[in-house]
């Protein structure tokens, strides 16, 4: 499955573009500020309903315009599926699939699974637990049809619980909510743990290729003591939760601990090495997704070669060439991505928001 055609209207500095894409490698070349990341942003929005750079659509819409539209034709075996998204300055989002409006963003996410790698993606390793939790949840969303519904229920219950904590004098005021929260949280954690266990083989294989000099451990943390049941823990935690007016322990605090030599990997690896560790996570997730669903992810690589020395870049290129996925990589010039280009590849040169096919 790959994007066969992409139409962009009023996204950042791209007023209008119609790109015919390669099902494998697509190189985006241009100077700083030409619009490379904007193209990746447009593809990401088509799969996620929002930008990876700014939460507000108004900042992504071309100056002076009222809305942006991204449209894609997805090649699925012999079938071509039309997907589209329109976002307005007022904040409305319209999802169109096969010419019919009113679809959900989650449906786009199902149809166009994306693995994003930007310079900011290192937050997955050195940022707050929520980034790693989102990484796990991406996989659970694609493996468990009920995951999103359960997660949304848990989120709502936690919000209501936190609101109640402001006035609750005794734990009994929360008990009813917790009776609903506990089984859903356990279900969620079970899916997450199962997903991480399945991912581990793929992770080990990719990390061995990319960082052969290290050995890593990767442990899922569910967000509360693994030895304790959640219900009595919530009751015991009540005074602390009330003081914080926030539920301190639970599935919203889930994390993935990645360590080497007993230390968190984020604290002891160099930036270039961390980047490879990160690529390993994304590649492993894509491989696991493929094993489970038989489908492929689309990879978006922004500023592809940044901060990698020649040897490490070659290791990464070797891994990227092994996967049979659609890939978009941005770089300043052709030489930086020369090793990724093959006969099926396409190159686009971008200048002030205008995109030309140069291959």
Ligand X SMILES: Nc1ncnc2c1ncn2[C@@H]1O[C@H](COP(=O)(O)OP(=O)(O)O)[C@@H](O)[C@H]1O
C-alpha 257/C-alpha 247 separation (Å) is: 21
Residue 201 main-chain phi, psi, to 5 deg = -60, -45
Dig out the tokens for 63 from the structure: 């100056």
Return phi, psi of residue 55, to 5°.
Answer: -70, -25
Work out whether 50 is an interface residue with ligand X (CB under 6 A): no
Report the alpha-carbon distance of residue 126 to residue 129 in Å, rounded. 9
The CA-CA-CA angle for residues 270, 271, 277, to 5°, reads 90
The helix or strand, by DSSP H or E, that contains position 97, with its residue range, turns out to be strand 93-97
Q: Say how many C-beta atoms besides its own lie within 10 A of residue 99's C-beta.
A: 7
Query: Shortest gap between Cβ of 328 and ligand X (angstroms)?
Result: 12
Binding status of residue 32 toward ligand X by CB under 6 A: yes
**Residue 142 interacting entry, from Mg ion, ligand X, none, C-beta within 5 to 8 Å by type:** none
What residues between 180 and 239 interact with ligand X by CB under 6 A? none
Q: Does 26 bind ligand X (CB under 6 A)?
A: no
Rounded to a whole number of angstroms, the minimum distance from the CB of residue 60 to Mg ion is 14
Q: Is 34 in the site for Mg ion (CB under 5 A)?
A: no
Count of residues that bind ligand X according to CB under 6 A: 15
Work out which of 9, 37, 118, 298 binds ligand X, going by CB under 6 A: 37
* β-strand partners of 356: 349
Smallest separation, CB 336 to Mg ion (Å): 13
Between 101 and 351, CB nearer to ligand X: 351
Q: Select the residue whose beta carbon is closest to Mg ion and give its number.
A: 37
CA 283 – CA 121 distance, rounded (Å): 14
Size of the site for Mg ion (CB under 5 A): 2
- Which of the stretches 35-43, 105-113, 196-204, 247-255 binds ligand X when contact is defined by CB under 6 A? 35-43
Helix or strand or coil: residue 8? strand
Binding range to ligand X, per CB under 6 A, among 25-33, 102-110, 196-204, 253-261 = 25-33
72: its two tokens: 């894609």
Q: Does residue number 260 form part of the binding site for Mg ion (CB under 5 A)?
A: no
Contact 324/296 with Cβ under 8 angstroms? yes
Residues that bind ligand X in the complex, under the rule CB under 6 A: 12-13, 30, 32-38, 59-63
Residues that bind Mg ion in the complex, under the rule CB under 5 A: 36-37
């Amino acid at each position: 499955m790959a994007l066969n055609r992409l139409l962009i209207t009023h996204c950042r500095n791209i007023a209008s573009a119609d790109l015919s894409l390669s099902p494998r490698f697509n190189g985006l070349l241009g100077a700083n500020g030409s619009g490379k990341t904007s193209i990746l942003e447009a593809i990401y929005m088509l799969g996620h309903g929002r930008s990876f750079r700014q939460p507000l659509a108004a900042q992504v819409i071309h100056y002076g315009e009222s809305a942006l539209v991204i449209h894609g034709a997805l090649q699925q075996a012999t079938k071509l599926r039309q997907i589209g998204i329109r976002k307005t300055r007022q904040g409305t989002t319209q999802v169109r699939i096969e010419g019919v409006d009113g679809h959900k963003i989650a449906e786009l996410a199902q149809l166009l699974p994306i693995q994003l790698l930007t310079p900011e993606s290192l937050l997955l390793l050195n940022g707050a637990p929520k980034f790693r939790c989102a990484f796990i949840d991406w996989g659970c969303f694609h493996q468990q049809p009920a995951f999103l519904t359960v997660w949304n229920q848990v989120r709502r219950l936690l919000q209501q619980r936190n609101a109640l904590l402001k006035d609750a004098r005794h734990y009994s005021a929360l008990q009813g909510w917790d009776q609903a929260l506990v089984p859903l949280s356990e279900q969620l954690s079970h899916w997450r743990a199962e997903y991480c266990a399945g991912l581990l083989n793929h992770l080990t294989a990719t990390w061995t290729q990319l960082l052969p000099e290290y050995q890593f451990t990767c442990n899922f943390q569910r967000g509360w003591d693994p030895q304790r049941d959640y219900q009595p823990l919530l009751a015991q935690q009540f005074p602390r939760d009330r003081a914080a007016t926030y539920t301190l322990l639970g599935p919203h605090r889930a994390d993935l601990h990645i360590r080497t030599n007993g230390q968190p990997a984020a604290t002891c690896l160099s930036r270039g090495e961390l980047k490879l560790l990160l690529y390993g996570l994304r590649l492993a997730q894509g491989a696991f997704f493929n094993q489970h669903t038989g489908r492929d992810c689309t990879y978006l690589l922004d500023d592809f070669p940044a901060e990698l020395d020649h040897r490490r870049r070659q290791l990464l290129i070797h891994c990227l060439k092994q996967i049979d996925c659609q890939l978009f990589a941005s770089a300043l010039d052709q030489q930086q991505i020369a090793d990724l280009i093959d006969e099926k590849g396409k190159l686009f040169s971008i200048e002030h928001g205008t995109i030309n096919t140069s291959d």
